[in-house]
Amino acid sequence: MKRLFPAAIVLSALTTIAALSGCSRDTPTDPAGVEGADTAALEKSYGEAPHGRHGQGGMRDGMATYEVIIENLTPATGDGASQPFSPPILAAHDPRFGVFRPGQLASPELAMVAEDANNGPLVAQLEGSSRVEQVVQGDGVILPGGSMSFEIRTDGRADRLSAVFMLVNTNDGFGGLDGVQLPASGERSYWVRAWDAGSERNTELASDIPGPCCGSHGVRVPTYERIRPHRGIQGGGDLDPAVYGWEGPVAKVTVRRLAPAYEITLTNLTPATGGGASQPFSPPLVATVRGWVPALAMRGYASDELITLAEDGDAGPLAATLEGSRRVSDLARGDGPVLPGGSVTFTLTADARHDRLALACMLVNTNDGFTGVAGLPLPAGGSMTYDLVAWDAGSEQDTELAADIPGPCYGSHFTGPDEHVRIMPHAGIQGGGDLDPAVYGWDGPVASLTVTRVR
């Protein structure tokens, strides 16, 4: 989903900064370079190699997240009737692991689920196996006609899903999936039948059934038969098939691979030298992109959209261009300025093709200074932190005059003598106009950017 804020947001944002007061020379540090250029190209262009710092946390390399929805298809014939499902157990595991196999004897752990909805032993067994990536449980029953959603993570090795739940108004009936392959993309649906665990005689007597029909836990007539399709409620005991029975599949399970998600935090590293002083950032524009986006190119001459952002903090034209581009997967804009020492965090989704990050914002107490990245590779797992430097858009002379600066120091929009030179590292505040370098200047990186894969 692409998210945009009104184009005029920069004007109110800079007004907010202005209310707080009366009035570098590095390369960007994305490891693959601007627009995917390599380190050597950057060194040739700007004389300094980029660098980043490994962070902690987030998903591991190569992991994927799935949403699993279990729907109870048994008929809603009354409160506690038909077949509520016990809290399901789901496990992501490798192909050599199995939770149950039709035609084989049920394990003691599976039998405890199928007879009494006792999840503990099976969960402990799954969590103790090196072949299982993750185990999740439901936090309640799934009533007839109801559903429950889960998220489960896995990697390329553990690409199978199993799920188990009891049909609680039976002796030892259960439903589930055993080792279905997780989809590489999109979603798959499975129609789930009921199984008889073969570990308890199907007496259909109130004294033997733990569900709301009867409430009798831990009482059974043991059998030692193989797992087989359940015959349903036959009416041979206390259960009326019209109330507790079912026909066909008992559940539908939908497995959907979720798009990767990233938490992006931008921190303003310029010194907090006073209200509205140093270098507040205009509301940042951030997007997940494929390759690089020409409007955000940070080599050669700045695009008209980038010039508008760099001179006046107005990201509207750039946002509109990105919004209409197939190179962009997800897009967001900040709803306010980022003050010195402050930070802002976004969460964006991506996919296999849109695997890079673009970000831009103005240093508002400059003529046409900005910071950002144009094609930063998103981490496959974990997090990375990068130091970002200031750029000069080359579209307006760096007069440093009050009449030409839109930030809270002076608030002069849409003014300043034009120039037409290539984008270059920003020289910082030189003190040649009305700006005091001790108040509005900076040394080294102007921002820290942390990108963490969270899904």
Q: What is the pLDDT of residue 275?
A: 79
Q: What is the pLDDT of residue 48?
A: 32
Q: How far apart are the first and last CA of the chain?
A: 16
Residue 18 has pLDDT above 90, yes or no: no
- The CATH-assigned architecture of domain 9-60+260-453 is Sandwich (2.60)
CA 68 to each of CA 101, 113, 300: distance values in angstroms, whole numbers, following the listed order: 21, 20, 47
Please give the full DSSP string across 174-209, using - where no structure is assigned: EEEEEEEEPPSSSEEEEEE-EEE-SSB-----GGG-
Domain locations along the chain: 9-60+260-453, 74-249
Q: Alpha carbon 202 to chain centroid distance?
A: 46
Could you give the CA distance from residue 179 to residue 162 in angstroms, rounded to a whole number?
Answer: 5
DSSP 4: -
Strand blocks (E) in 303-440: 328-333, 343-349, 356-362, 369-377, 383-388, 390-392, 424-425
Are 204 and 167 in contact, with CB atoms under 8 Å apart? Answer: no
Least confident window among 15-24, 259-268, 305-314, 330-339:
15-24
Are 364 and 393 in contact, with CB atoms under 8 Å apart? Answer: no
Q: What is the mean pLDDT of residues 343-360?
A: 93
Per the DSSP assignment, residues forming a β-bridge with 53 are 385
Query: Residue 51: pLDDT band by 50, 70, 90 thresholds?
Result: very low
Are 252 and 73 in contact, with CB atoms under 8 Å apart? Answer: yes
Please tell me if the domain spanning 9-60+260-453 has the same topology as the one spanning 74-249.
Answer: yes
Query: Residue 15: pLDDT band by 50, 70, 90 thresholds?
Result: very low
pLDDT in tens, 71-93: 999 999 988 889 999 999 999 99
Are 355 and 271 in contact, with CB atoms under 8 Å apart? Answer: no
Residue 62 has pLDDT above 80, yes or no: no
Are 285 and 264 in contact, with CB atoms under 8 Å apart? Answer: no
Query: Residue 219: pLDDT band by 50, 70, 90 thresholds?
Result: confident
- Which position has the higher pLDDT, 425 or 156? 425
User: What is the average pLDDT score of the chain?
Assistant: 86
Q: What is the pLDDT of residue 60?
A: 64
pLDDT in tens, 263-322: 999 999 999 988 777 999 999 999 999 987 889 888 899 999 999 999 999 999 999 999
Could you give the CA distance from residue 7 to residue 320 in angstroms, rounded to a whole number?
Answer: 9
What CATH class has 74-249? Answer: mainly beta
Residues 6+ apart with CB under 8 A from 385: 52, 53, 54, 55, 448, 449, 450, 451
Are 310 and 362 in contact, with CB atoms under 8 Å apart? Answer: yes
Q: What is the pLDDT of residue 56?
A: 57
Least confident window among 43-47, 55-59, 142-146, 226-230:
43-47
CA 280 to each of CA 151, 160, 327: distance values in angstroms, whole numbers, following the listed order: 39, 49, 29
User: Which of 425, 389, 401 lies closest to 270 in space, CA to CA?
Assistant: 389
Q: Which residue has the tokens 């589930």?
A: 176
Percent of the chain with pLDDT over 90: 70
Angle made by CA atoms 7, 9, 10, in degrees to the nearest 5: 100
Residue 71 phi/psi, 5-degree rounding, is -110, 135
